[in-house]
Structure 1
Amino acid sequence: MITNFDKLCLDLEKQELEAPNGVTSAANYAQLLAIYLYQNDLCNAKFLWKRIPQNITSSNPELAAVWTVGQKMWKKDLPRTYQALAAYHWVEPVATIMRALEEKVRETAFTLIGRSYSSISIETVVSMTGLSKEAVLQICRDRKWEINDDGVTVNPAPPVQPAPLHTSSEDQLFKLTEFVSFLEN
C-alpha cells in the first residue's frame, strides 16, 4: 500500500522528465494526476492533463476518469466529485490514491461545515460529504454536533483550534525592547 504520496509524486515526476521524449506510461500519468488531486494541487493537475499526449488520454479510461474527478474538484462541485469517484472501478495503485483522495475531500468538507455553519440541514451535509443520511448522523454524533429535535438540521461545533503557544515574559520583554530600540534609531 502506498503511504508516502509526496515521495511517489517526486519519483513519478522524475520518471516523466527522464522518459524518452518526455512521455511516460499511462499508468504513471494516472498516478501522478491522482496524487496532484490528493494534494489539492489543481493547477499542476490541469497542466499535467494538458501535456499528456492525446493518444494516451483517449486510450486510457482510468486516466480520463481521474481527470473527470479533477474537473469536478476544480469547479468545487462536491456532490459530483463523489459521483465521479464512485463511477469508476479504480485499479491499483491508482485505487489507493483515489480512496485517500475521497477520504481527504470528505474530511475537508466536514471541517468546512464545522467552521462555516451554526446550523445546516442534514440533507446539505449528505450532499457535501457523499455519505448516506445514517452515516452522516453517526459522524455528527461522533463529532458531538447537536442534532436538532426536528431531525432535519444539525448544529456543527467548530473544530477545536490548538491553543496558541505562549511565550515567556522574558521573551516578550526582549522582543519589546528590540522593537523600541528599532523605533528609536
Structure 2
Amino acid sequence: MDLLELQDALASKSFQRIGEICDELMLQVASSGISFQKEWPYSIHLLGHLYVNDLNSARFLWKSIPSGIKESQAEVVAAWKIGQCLWIRDYAGVYAAIRGFNWSPEALGLVTAFEESYTKRNFQLLVSAYSTISVTDTAQFLGMSEDDATNYVLQHGWTLDSTSRMLSVRKPEIITEQKLDSSKLQRLTEYVFHLEH
C-alpha cells in the first residue's frame, strides 16, 4: 500500500485534498483485493473529510470502519467525536473534542489547521448572523475564553459594552463595483454622436 501521495499532501499542508486522496487510495487498494484494514490511516481519512466539511462522507466512512478498529484505535474514535459534534452543531463540543485528545504527530497538523479554519468559519457566521451578541455566546462559538474571544473580535472592529457584556458586530463594508458594459458605451457614443450632428 503506497501512501506517498497522502504523506506528501500532509507534509505540504494540502489538507483540503486529504479526504479525496484517501478515498481514491482506498478504492485502489480494495479493488486489488489486498487486506488493508489494520494499516489504513482511518483517523487521517476522517479528519480529511471533516476539514472540508464533508460530513456525509465522514459518516459513511465511520460506518464502514470495522468495529475492531474502532475499539483498538482511540484516535479514530476521537476524530469521529469531532464529526458528531459538527453534525449536531455543538460548537463548544467540537473544540472540546479537538483539545481533549493527544493527537499523533501525523494528525496534529491537520487537526490544528482544522481548528483554525473552524474558528474563522464560525467568526464569519457570527458576522453574518448577528448585530449584537453576548461575550459568553461569542466565546462558546469561537472556542475561546471570554477574554480571548473579546480580544479576538475587538481586533476585528467589534465594540464592547462592558456594562451589559454585549458585543456589537462590525459588518464588513460592501463594495459594489459598477461594471461598464461595452454595448451600453457603444449606444451612448452613438446617441451623443447623433445629438451633435
TM value normalised by structure 1: 0.84
Ranked by relative contact order (alpha carbons within 8 Å, sequence separation 6 or more), the top structure is 1
Three-state SS of the structure 2 residue aligned to 1:154 is strand
Going from structure 1 to structure 2, the CA distance change for 1:171 and 1:145 (only over 3 Å counts) comes to farther
CA distance in 1, matches of 2:40, 2:109: 13
- 2:137 aligned partner, one-letter code: T
**2:111 counterpart letter in structure 1:** M
Counterpart in the other structure of 1:85: 98
| Structure number with bigger Rg | 2
Alignment of 1:115-154 (within 5 A): 115-150=128-163, 152-154=165-167
Distance 1:82 1:74 in 2: 14
| Equivalent residue, structure 1, for 2:189 | none
Aligned partner of 2:26 in structure 1 is 16
Unmatched tracts of structure 1, length 5 or more: 175-185
TM-superposed CA distance for 1:25, in Å, is 4.6
Q: Note closer, same or farther for the CA distance 1:143–1:69 as it changes in structure 2 (3 Å cut).
A: same
Deviation per CA, 1:82-128: give whole Å up to 9, x if none: 11111101112211111111111111111111111111110111111
Give 3-state SS (helix, strand or coil) of 2:104's partner.
coil
Q: Residue 113 of structure 1 corresponds to which residue in structure 2?
A: 126
Report the aligned-residue RMSD. Answer: 2.1
Q: Does 1:170 align with 2:157?
A: no
What's the TM-score once normalised by structure 2's chain length? 0.79
Once the two structures are TM-superposed, the CA of residue 73 in structure 1 deviates from its matched residue by 0.4
2:195 matched to which residue of 1? none
Q: How many residues align?
A: 173
- Per the TM alignment, residue 41 of structure 1 is displaced from its structure 2 partner at its CA by 0.3
Change (3 A) 1:124 1:154: same
TM-superposed deviation, 1:18: 2.1
* Ranges in structure 2 where 5+ consecutive residues have no aligned partner: 1-10, 187-197
| SS of residue matched to 2:77 | helix
